A and B are shown apart, each in its own frame.
Chain A
Amino acid sequence: MNYFVDSLSAAVELIFSFDADIYQIVFTSVLISITAAVIAASIAIPAGVTMALNHFRGKSFIQHILNTLMAMPTVVIGLLLYGLFSRLGPLGHWGLLYTPTAIIIAEAILIFPIMMNLSITAVQSADPRLVPTLTSLGAKPFPLIINVILTTRLAMLAALVTGFGRAIGEVGAAMMLGGNIEGFTRTMTTAIALETSKGEFELGLALGLLLLIIAFALNFILSWLNSNND
């Protein structure tokens, strides 16, 4: 018990010492995750809204695929991209392996089905009169999608935050594709895994606490936006 309490207190001290290395890791993590979330959202949200607004053959099949992808283990994505980006892989000449870009691509792919599914649900749970109203007011396909996104913006923001949360907590693909290079591709989760394996439990715990604080802050912002909208 003492070991845990001592480690916790050392972790809190580390956080408030504003150690540059720790905050470099946090910054890298947040930057990679935000970029991945924004890239994924910019495709997944319009795609999800378009899918929800249209009826076409194979729609339920695509939804099954999306549901399956939501449960796909991150190491599988890491493995597939590793095969593509490794020196002998078809995209090896791009030189992306062990770069933040590779982690961003992996995380964007990982969170895409989550965001798309949440966008579909957001449209389906919106007021059923929304789309007929916009159509009767003359909305063409593109303005219709934009206005549906704007009207359901809080649900879309929730999809973005959920995606970001999933990305920042991801470890498997980040480790395989980023290589955990200090000051370059070391993220909070890969650093926690490394430091804990080295016996540096305090540093791991400090990063874990910061991860929790980020998650809490995101949820707080979302609740605040929701309450302001009400």
Chain B
Amino acid sequence: MTKAYQLSNIKVSYQDSLVLDIPELSIPAGKCVALLGENGAGKSTLLKLLAFTSQANQGVISLFEHAIKSSLNTSQRQKIGFVDQHPYLLPGSVEDNLKLALKLQGIPADKHGQFIQQALEQTKTAHLAQKASNTLSGGELKRVAIARAIVYQPAILLLDEPFSHLDQHHIQLLEAFILNFSQQENKTVIFSSHDRLQGMAMADEIINLVAGKTTASPLLNVFHGTLSQHIFDTGKIQIHATSTLAEAHHIAINPQEIIISAQALQSSMRNSFSGRLILIAEEEETVRLTVDCGESFHVMISPESLKNLNLSLGDTLFLSFKSTAVSVF
């Protein structure tokens, strides 16, 4: 499968603080990819690197199998459309903004009309074409910014927090656009979100970011602390892990790998905690339980298991998981 991006040994620092540290990352072409993480996890920094609007302090980024040494050439630049979290439209009309993008990309003038029409129709903003950019609502502005980013027909569309500050109507429009653009046009769409469920529902692939590092685990049960001799200390509880990675400060435990029981289990699992059930939530086709064991653990169970366990809020539960279930990063 063609790779849209290949990142190797990427490090980004701001004022001596490492904000992004990605040893290896491949992003396949033609997929919808969600970049998930909390605020400050490094999502925007990574997207700006992928858009080549900022540079890493270290490392190499390849775009469609070509390592980018310094800056993009015209054809490489034309492959990427980027929409910032708070997009900026230049003074003038919506059409002026789209025309400027085409001019800057060196698209011949005779194609401008057709390209603009196509982008406005795709983003359902044709009725806004002559509207002044400073009179648009928040949702309209985001869709127009996306129209401007796709007007030159890039192969990759990067969207930083596209759903933030939007009402339900605009979120639905945007979700439909992203899925349509990715699936029907076979384009690569990479969008960041702090909404794990939305990301998982829409994307073909997920990249989880925690404190500037990618992790294979879903972003549940992520704890911060220090690791020493296979014991990860969160400050509240101690969790057994197999890794001895000295500089690791985060762990994640896949909620599917946690066994929940009403009584303490006699097993070989190194980690066993008791806690109080504080949340029962329906999530797609599973049920998410949150158990306070000093740290809050999320556990996924089936609706049948919930019925069998006959759980109520406040119940005492026992959680058990192997030290191999603990991802250290």
Contact = CB atoms under 8 A, between A and B. Distances in A.
A58 interface: no
Interface in A115-140: 127, 129-130, 132-140
A132 B49 CA distance: 12
Interface string B66-110: 000000001001101010101110110000000011011110000
A164 B175 CA distance: 53
A151 interface: yes
Contact of A135 (B53, B86, B90, B105): B53
A132 B84 contact: yes
A130 B101 CA distance: 13
Contact of B91 (A133, A135, A151): A151
27 contacts: A127-B88, A129-B87, A130-B90, A132-B48, A132-B54, A132-B84, A133-B84, A133-B87, A133-B90, A135-B53, A136-B53, A136-B80, A136-B82, A136-B84, A136-B149, A137-B100, A137-B104, A137-B105, A137-B148, A137-B149, A138-B101, A139-B104, A140-B104, A143-B103, A147-B90, A151-B90, A151-B91
A109 to B, nearest CB: 33
Contact-size category for B: 20 to 34
Given A137-B104, A143-B103, 12 more contacts: A127-B88, A129-B87, A129-B88, A130-B88, A132-B48, A132-B54, A132-B84, A133-B84, A136-B51, A137-B101, A138-B74, A138-B105
Interface residues of A, number: 16
A137 B96 CA distance: 13
Nearest to B77: A138
Count chain A CB atoms within 10 A of each CB in B51, B53, B103, B104 and give the residue with the most.
B104
B78 A138 contact: yes
Interface of A: 127, 129-130, 132-140, 143, 147, 151, 229
B77 A129 contact: no
A127 B106 CA distance: 25
Q: Which 7 A-B pairs have the closest CB atoms?
A: A129-B88, A136-B82, A138-B104, A138-B77, A138-B105, A137-B101, A133-B88
Interface of B: 48, 51, 53-54, 74, 77-78, 80, 82, 84, 86-88, 90-91, 100-101, 103-106, 148-149, 152
A116 to B, nearest CB: 24
A129 B53 contact: no
Contacts of B87: 129, 133
A101 B104 CA distance: 39
B86 A143 contact: no
A132 B148 CA distance: 14
B104 A134 contact: yes
A140 B104 CA distance: 8
A129 B104 CA distance: 17
Contacts of A130: 88, 90
Contacts of A129: 84, 86-88
Nearest to B107: A138
Nearest to A144: B104
Contacts of A151: 90-91
A229 B103 CA distance: 24
Contacts of A133: 84, 87-88, 90
Count chain B CB atoms within 10 A of each CB in A135, A136, A151 and give the residue with the most.
A136
Contacts of A134: 104
Given A129-B84, A138-B105, A147 B51 contact: no
Count chain B CB atoms within 10 A of each CB in A130, A138, A140, A143 and give the residue with the most.
A138
A135 B149 CA distance: 12
Contacts of B84: 129, 132-133, 136
Contacts of A127: 88
